[in-house]
Chain A
Amino acid sequence: MRQEDNNKDILNSAACEEFDSRLMLLAAGELTPDEEADVADHLKHCARCVEALERERELVECFAASRIEPDAALLASCRSGLEDALDRQEERSWLRRITNVFLPAGGLAPRPAWSAALLVLVGFSVGILGPRFLQRPAAVSGDSDSAVSSDTTGSSNFAPQFPNSGSAPIIDMHSAQVAGISVMPSGGGQPPQVELQMRAQQPFRVQGTVNNDNVKSVLMNILRNNDRFDPDVRLDAVDLLRAKNDDPEVRDVLCHAVHTDPNAAVRLKALEALNGAEPQDLVRKTLLDALVDDRNPGVRVEAINALRNMAAQGKVVSDDHMIAVLRDRMQKDPNTYIRLQSAAAIRDLGPREKF
């Protein structure tokens, strides 16, 4: 009898080895119905495998229970980071396309003679035309509120940037870079004094408050040419122009920044700067555009907050377009906060639907 039991154990042990991997697959839900039936037959006679299967299942349960779910904040930050990376990638692609149009390197590479001829032609053109451009005189203003001064005594430059001509030094805003901005607060609610150090072929300095045309012009130029100036310079420019958001030119340039600046912080600040500006229609339109078009959720959040703020103060009149935009955002915006705020804005502003 004992001998029979021993033989049975040996036979079972050999079969168990065969079933070892199947038990793992059974616990993981990976066996076909036929295979499951085979294992079930074996389990009827083998307590050891029943126990092993129980252990496998416990292990699988333990893994399943300990799964980490990414929280909403991490997911949101990943999405935001990806959007920024995509923005940068698209900018690079755009630049590459432009470069390829003007410099078709692929087409010229197998034709060295054409490449050489093109180089000679470009060099010749620059040699002939360059000095003519550089010798054109330009004018700079000087008024009571500001001063524009050249740091050198050079006599040639180009760019009719400042309309009030005089005998002042020559500046070139088309290629000028901002070397530094100093802002000195003024008392009595006056706008701060600004000093802009410009780096150009002939360096110059512009001083005054934002009420001065030259200072305003340089600051607006910075925002219009957002690809040439660093984001921190553009942020300073928005900050300084904010005091003049009732000026139509300034308002236009702030709207331009909201629509086109590649940096989300600059767009955000420009939105803030527009808040409270007149006429409300233009501001409202810009806020709605930002709410619809801006890739950055932070900017869209600021836009919906500003809209709700204006609505609460009775500064905004709703129309069908605005309600349609808010309804669209309420349904489609990936950001939960914006969807909720859009719904609240519709509730505040929109006509009640009749059921």
Chain B
Amino acid sequence: MGMSVALDGDARQAAAARIAEEQGLVRNAQAGDRLAFEELVHRYDREVLRLALNLVHRSEDARDIYQESFMRVYKNLHRFRFECSFYTWLYRIVTNVSLDHLRRRTSRREDQAPVPDEAEGGTRDFFDRQPEVRAAANPERSLLGQELGQHISAALKRLSPRERMVFEMKHYQGLKLRAIGDMLGTSEETVKNSLFRATRKLRASLDCMR
């Protein structure tokens, strides 16, 4: 028991030190220290790119979202007032940029355009990758998985940008609903409803397949 309390205390101290160190980095970056800014970028950019890539499924589009997001962070860093964590603030910007991108794409109906092959520099739909992993274990299941993946992929494209964002942040970023609400500037209840609607649509699509 005593040991557990000590460990909790150590973890809390480590977390506090990490937060203080990050705040120091943000302050340096706000003062114009480019290296501090790059250090912040390198802490979170893999997660930002993952979110973008899973949302848009094309490396070119994901790169655009990545660059636009971090440039907005750079230009607006002086407005950050430490009222939330830097991570949350960054994700607010990333989700806004991504939602704009998804809305533009929905209005242009770009989702209907053929997705370029990986060999041509594009990224295949992520559900296409699924059977490759499982093929060795069970070819029959692999085929089913591929079919399932295609249905889910099609259903994902029918979600509204916000539903899709909530879904991706929950299932691909592993974020809690409360954190997603903070990042999207909405309540946990609204996020819960969006996730529920998204899952129901996906489930309906899968039921059609059966």
A15-43 vs B: 1/0 string, CB under 8 Å?
00000010011001010000000000000
**B51: nearest chain-A partner, CB-CB:** A70
CB within 8 Å for A21 and B196 given contacts A65-B130, A78-B66, A82-B67: yes
CB within 8 Å for A68 and B42 given contacts A74-B62, A81-B63: no
Q: Bound state CA distance, A68 and B192, in angstroms?
A: 24
Q: Bound state CA distance, A21 and B170, in angstroms?
A: 15
**Stretch in A85-93, A230-238, A259-267, A312-320 with 4+ CB within 8 Å of B:** A85-93
Establish whether residues B75 and A82, one from each chain, have CB atoms under 8 Å apart when the complex forms. no
**Stretch in A56-64, A181-189, A242-250 with 4+ CB within 8 Å of B:** A56-64
A63-107 vs B: 1/0 string, CB under 8 Å?
111111110001101110111011001100000000000000000
**Stretch in B85-93, B94-102, B121-129 with 4+ CB within 8 Å of A:** B121-129
Establish whether residues A70 and B46, one from each chain, have CB atoms under 8 Å apart when the complex forms. yes
- Partner among A28, A66, A68 whose Cβ is within 8 Å of the Cβ of B195: A28
Establish whether residues A30 and B63, one from each chain, have CB atoms under 8 Å apart when the complex forms. no
Interfacial residues of chain B within 135-165, with CB under 8 A of chain A in the complex: 145, 148-149, 152
A279: Cβ under 8 A from any B Cβ? no
**B42: nearest chain-A partner, CB-CB:** A334
Judged by DSSP, the binding face of B is helix
B78: Cβ under 8 A from any A Cβ? no
CB within 8 Å for A68 and B199 given contacts A60-B171, A62-B148: no
Q: Bound state CA distance, A67 and B123, in angstroms?
A: 13
B54: Cβ under 8 A from any A Cβ? yes
Establish whether residues B127 and A66, one from each chain, have CB atoms under 8 Å apart when the complex forms. yes
A120-133 vs B: 1/0 string, CB under 8 Å?
00000000000000
Establish whether residues B195 and A78, one from each chain, have CB atoms under 8 Å apart when the complex forms. no
Question: Interface size of A by Cβ–Cβ distance < 8 Å?
Answer: 31
B36: Cβ under 8 A from any A Cβ? no
Establish whether residues A63 and B171, one from each chain, have CB atoms under 8 Å apart when the complex forms. yes
By a CB distance below 8 angstroms, the chain A residues around B57 are 68
Establish whether residues A66 and B67, one from each chain, have CB atoms under 8 Å apart when the complex forms. no
B41: Cβ under 8 A from any A Cβ? yes
CB within 8 Å for A89 and B71 given contacts A28-B170, A82-B66: yes
Counting residue pairs across A and B whose Cβ atoms lie within 8 Å, the total is 91
By a CB distance below 8 angstroms, the chain A residues around B63 are 74, 77-78, 81
- Partner among B41, B133, B195 whose Cβ is within 8 Å of the Cβ of A82: B41
Distance to closest chain A CB from B199 (angstroms): 5
Establish whether residues A78 and B67, one from each chain, have CB atoms under 8 Å apart when the complex forms. yes
Q: Bound state CA distance, A79 and B66, in angstroms?
A: 9
- Partner among A75, A77, A85 whose Cβ is within 8 Å of the Cβ of B46: A75
Distance to closest chain B CB from A275 (angstroms): 28
Interfacial residues of chain B within 32-52, with CB under 8 A of chain A in the complex: 34, 37-38, 41-42, 45-46, 49-50
By a CB distance below 8 angstroms, the chain A residues around B196 are 21, 24
Q: Bound state CA distance, A74 and B53, in angstroms?
A: 10
Q: Bound state CA distance, A60 and B202, in angstroms?
A: 11
B203: Cβ under 8 A from any A Cβ? yes
B80: Cβ under 8 A from any A Cβ? no
Q: Bound state CA distance, A75 and B203, in angstroms?
A: 33
By a CB distance below 8 angstroms, the chain A residues around B50 are 67-70
By a CB distance below 8 angstroms, the chain B residues around A21 are 192, 196
Establish whether residues A70 and B62, one from each chain, have CB atoms under 8 Å apart when the complex forms. yes
Q: Bound state CA distance, A309 and B105, in angstroms?
A: 49
4 A-B pairs with least C-beta separation: A63-B171, A70-B49, A68-B126, A78-B66
Q: A62-B149, A82-B66 are in contact. List 12 more A-B contacts (CB 8 A).
A: A59-B203, A66-B126, A66-B127, A68-B123, A70-B50, A70-B53, A74-B53, A78-B63, A78-B66, A85-B71, A86-B37, A89-B74
12 A–B pairs (Cβ distance < 8 Å), ordered by A: A55-B203, A59-B206, A66-B130, A67-B50, A67-B171, A67-B172, A70-B50, A77-B63, A79-B41, A85-B67, A86-B71, A334-B42
